[in-house]
Every structure is written in structure tokens, then in C-alpha cells.
Amino acid sequence: MTGDGGASGDDVGSGSGAPPVVLKLGGSLITEKDRPETLDEDALAAACDAVAGALADGAVERLVVVHGGGSFGHHHASEHGVSTTAGTGDADAVMDIHGAMTELNRAVLDRLHERDVPAVPVHPLSLSARPEGPDGALDLPLSSTATLLGEGFVPVLHGDGVATTGSGITVVSGDELVVELAVGLGARRVGVCSTVPGVLDGDGDVIPSIDSFEAVADALGASDATDVSGGMAAKVRELLALDAPAYVFGAAGLAPFLRGEDAGTRID
């Protein structure tokens, strides 16, 4: 959660207007995660269609988007041995990871702009830090994101490198950013769109709702492809920390979620 130098709901809030919706587009959804630096063009287009439609229809008034690293950031982070706990002091490694993420971010922004979504980038490497080291709290000031929301933009953040005391640069995951944004901006709903229709039990069926990690711990495993940020178990842990209802769903659940309906697995 946010450290002393970061923003909280009391410090920033969502400004004037309705509390925002925070949406994460998973890296495994919008990229071919087992093929380095390859977009899943159809999935990304469909996701951007849903976002544009919800904004145009007024189903969502204020929206913050976060996207994961997929085959862009995760590929380079894995090659350089960088994760949420292991860092690097090599500037070239940092640029490989951050450069790949800004390339993916630009692709997401371009598709949103094609649909008249007023999306703008917010790069966590330039804002955030872990002043107390890899195990310390994330300091993510949110005044710029809140102000962008207030001015009618759709801020788009992404998994990225983060300055980390004693470890150079480590990885901040999109899932952790979602939690920080939801708490600091007073989000009313949170959605995580992935390649699966929800959080699955041991039989592969969607778990309708989760209110404690212990109840589903045995059913949750690691991601199938290279993922330096923890897979579904980490997602569930992060989302359980929220006050706002959160949902994990597949591509088919994105439009219903944005309309305010239940989708996939509800976590609260």
C-alpha cells in the first residue's frame, strides 16, 4: 500500500465528479505472451472497442486504465533477472524493460485514440519509488493522475520499473498499481480483464465470489507463461485489500463490467 510519501484517498481523492472506475488490461490478454514483443491485435482492438463504447454511452464517466507487461516488459525483465523483489543497477537493463513497456503503452494509446478515447500516458518509473527497499511500501504520488481525470483525460499506466532503495530498479506490477490507484483515487469499481473467464477452482470452473485468500489458496497457481509479478494468486491477494468491489474476468466480461454488471469472479 501507499507509503508516507504517496497519496491516499484523503490526500487526492477523485476530485470533482464521480468516483473513477479502474480497469486493468492484462498483459496476457493484449499481447502474445509466449512471443516476445508481439501484440494480440484482435484482443487489444476488442478491449479498446469496449472501453470506447462505455465512455461514449456514459456507462463510465471517469476511467483509469492500467495494462500489464505481457511479452514486452516481462520478456526483458526475465532476461535481466529483474522482478518485484530482485533489482538491477544496470541502466541498459532498465531501458530494455522500460523501453519495451513504453512501446506497448504507445500501442495501447494509439488504439484508444483511433476510437476517440482521450487517453494519455502516465509512466510509473518517472513517479514511483520504494524508499524502504524491495519489501517496503510503494510510494506512488497520484496528483497528476487525479488532475488528468479531472480534466477529462483517461490516464493509462502500466507495469514498469520502480526506483528501489538498495536494489536499483525493481518491477512494479500492474496489479499493485491497480490497488494503489483504487485506494488513492477512491475508485467505485475495479476490473481485471485477463485471458480466463474468472478465478478458476481446481476443476477449472469460475469461482463466483472470493472474500478470503485462504478459501481459494489451493486452487491458485502460477502463470503458465513468463511472469515476474506473481500470477493469479498475487492478483487475488492485491484485490482483496480493496474496499471497492473488484472483478476478474475474461474478454467477454469486459463490456458487461463497464456497464456496471457483475462479471467473472467478484472479489471483496
pLDDT tens string 39-69 = 999 999 999 999 999 999 999 999 999 999 9
Q: Is 27 annotated as a binding-site member?
A: yes
With respect to residue 47, please indicate whether it lies within any of the assigned structural domains: yes
With respect to residue 12, please indicate whether it lies within any of the assigned structural domains: no
- Structural domain tally of the chain? 1
pLDDT in tens, 117-151: 999 999 999 999 999 999 999 999 999 999 999 99
- Residue 55, C-beta contacts closer than 8 angstroms, at least 6 positions apart: 63, 117, 154
Domain residue limits at 251 = 21-267
Q: Is 33 annotated as a binding-site member?
A: no
Please report, for the domain that includes residue 71, its CATH number: 3.40.1160.10
Q: Is 25 annotated as a binding-site member?
A: yes
Q: Is 70 annotated as a binding-site member?
A: yes
Q: How far apart are the first and last CA of the chain?
A: 17
With respect to residue 13, please indicate whether it lies within any of the assigned structural domains: no
Q: What is the pLDDT, as a whole number, of residue 17?
A: 73
Is the pLDDT at 112 greater than 70? The verdict is: yes
The 8-class DSSP code of residue 54 comes to H
With respect to residue 38, please indicate whether it lies within any of the assigned structural domains: yes
Q: Is 109 exposed, middle or buried (0-12, 13-18, 19+ CB in 10 A)?
A: buried
- Residue 10, C-beta contacts closer than 8 angstroms, at least 6 positions apart: none
Q: Is 69 annotated as a binding-site member?
A: yes
Q: What is the pLDDT, as a whole number, of residue 245?
A: 96
pLDDT in tens, 170-185: 999 998 999 999 999 9
Q: Is 24 annotated as a binding-site member?
A: yes
With respect to residue 9, please indicate whether it lies within any of the assigned structural domains: no
Q: Is 174 annotated as a binding-site member?
A: yes
Q: What is the pLDDT, as a whole number, of residue 262?
A: 95
Within 112-159, strands assigned E span: 119-121, 129-130, 154-158
Q: Which residue has the cell 490507484?
A: 181
